Structure 1
């Protein structure tokens, strides 16, 4: 089992989707693009830098790519994966062009660190979120429904989008679609974008200008989202600062801080995050079931892998109402935690000692739109190699947690430092 666990540390990921595979290299670049090109973005710029484009042509391509992608996402509930891959890749390449022209220094572009409430990703690493097809699709369709529902009863709404990254991918493409199709005007929608990274704000200024969306954007704030103090209430709070297993990033801390700034009838998107646990055979769950799959997605989970799981149930649920009533526990060390749920380890599973705990999220964005397990990196099950059931690890470590079948496990969620779940005996 120890050998299997060691192997799983290197094999717990799934195959890369087509959208994340690198493109071809090219041999020409303008000097203004060099800071990005030095960080392996050269291939992503190929389509737009093969020929010299005027600034007007570049902006037109950017706007067309955003509009075409969101039109497809909103008008077609089901679209073949290859079509979506092409659309999202084109949108990404155009957005990266704006990032390159924003003139970020290498230091600003790559600055990444661990803050008091989690990992703060660099603008360089955040740029690929706009390529995450089913994450962006699930959020965009939900946000569109939420906006339409609000504007059916109000003349105008104000939206807050913290930790938005350099491209604000859950709102700017949608606003471009609204503008191009004359769906909603800037008099109806006002957007506040917040990010702690100077490089993200610098890129957003360029991108918003390139898209011609300045009238929609009320504020671009360079600020820590957990300390940002809005001067007004908001109708929608859009937040996606997550990694798989609901770990590392500060989604919960940001949400807890900003939910009180929602109006009485204001909505949080995602409306619900359900974090769940299961005990799996690592080879079956993370490798075998994806050998013949064309791409990773909840629709492509194999029946064999699904039947092989031992589901533990919901570990944690995050909604607007739960956030408003969520109490922090401060330990002597100053570390803050939230009490999550208890689960009981099932009895009578013969191969329990060979199983690995995997924690995954199911996200309901709004009105039935969702992002399921394996649809996105943020919902990919995260294996916990320190959680042992019915066996003692060969090497004693304070990081290991050992439990027996039939016992109850109490989970806590650590807010301080790198967020994540801590298991204790119930």
Structure 2
């Protein structure tokens, strides 16, 4: 079996413009099975399931990182977004430099594109902190016969990685997050890397936004659509526009860092017809490749408070994103009862 051709065949479904969920699911299962078969390791063991806890979030255990492939729409959107960014920015005069921070054991999001370009066109920097994941990653790349490609392996914490000023990346990829940017190092990684590149560098995802929103009452969970949520206010954003100006002033991502506090008050009349206060995550991977509400585990709305139908008053919500050993958006909800 020609493994390279097999990966191209299997992953071709990710590049189809028309989404066929059944075919996508089958392709994902084949892709996962192939990677598991060539990695040479059993990840379903204690060492494989152990997360690495750091002072600015956690790095997932190898077993859990490999499971991210099962989030079908997320995987499809990232692979398509990465490929679009490459096609739009590849330069025949010099190799495109792609930095992938937090590859996990398989570098899942970049493998489908590697075989679609020549080794002269792109050079790669793969950063992975977890030693078990790093070991498997090197094995997989070797089994795929990619040793003659320009791939630099770095076993390091991406929140501390120092980019070579003479070898700055054109595209930076990092999907090291959970819903609502909780627990993992996504924000710290982006802060560190954004501070070291110029504004032309492309970040994937391009933008992650957190919103306080309201969910309409009387809609069963299985029937809930995007239109049943009403955004009230954006409370946090990760993007070049939002982060680069901030990070020039505040460069410490290894210890506790707090961002600007946001406050929103929702009047009683605005609460009518809504039953829940929720936190929404929206992700713009690259240009038109976006992960919408409920399309992925990353964008499932988080219920933060039920709103009683007989509640008379307003709500005030104070929010602040904090980087710590357990990074998350912290919030306080104040009930302003009508007097």
**TM-score bracket for this pair, using the shorter chain length:** 0.7 to 0.9
| Unaligned 5+ runs, structure 1 | 1-56, 179-183, 290-300, 393-402
Which of these residues, 259, 264, 272, is aligned with residue 343 of structure 1?
264
RMSD: 3.0
Q: Report the structure, 1 or 2, having the larger strand content.
A: 2
Normalized per residue, the structure richer in helix is 1
Cα distance, 1:217 vs structure 2? 4.4
Q: Are 1:85 and 2:6 matched, yes or no?
A: no
Matched residues in 2 for 1:120 and 1:103: separation? 19
The residue that corresponds to 1:51 in the other structure is none
1:318 aligns with 2:238: yes
**Match for residue 106 of structure 2?**
167
The C-alpha deviation readout for 1:110-160, integer Å capped at 9, x for no partner, is: 221432111221101111112222112111111111112221475211111
Report the equivalent of 2:172.
237
Relative to the length of structure 2, the TM-score reads: 0.85
CA drift at 1:423:
2.4
Q: Does 1:131 align with 2:66?
A: no
CA deviation after TM superposition for structure 1 residue 282, in Å:
8.6
Given that residues 242 and 249 in structure 1 are in contact (C-alpha distance below 8 angstroms), is that contact kept between their aligned partners in structure 2? yes
C-alpha separation in 2, matches of 1:261 and 1:350: 44
Corresponding residue pairs, total? 328
TM-score (norm 1): 0.69
When residues 255 and 349 of structure 1 are mapped into structure 2, their CA distance, relative to the original with a 3 A threshold, is: same
- Larger Rg belongs to: 1
Residues 238-288 of structure 1 show CA distances to partners (whole Å, capped at 9, x for unaligned) of 111111122111100110001123344211111111222222369846x34
Give 1:412's match in structure 2, choosing from 298, 320, 323.
320
User: What is the CA–CA distance in structure 2 between the aligned matches of 1:115 and 1:66, rounded to whole Å?
Assistant: 34
Q: 2:242 & 2:271 partners in 1: Cα distance?
A: 37
Q: CA 1:420–1:154 in structure 2 vs 1: closer, same or farther (change >3 Å)? A: farther
The equivalences for 1:292-371 within 5 A come to 301-302=224-225, 306-307=227-228, 309-326=229-246, 335-339=256-260, 341-349=262-270, 355-371=275-291
SS class of match (1:223): coil
Using the alignment, how far apart are the partners of 2:78 and 2:87 within structure 1?
14
Unaligned runs of 5+ in 2: 335-339
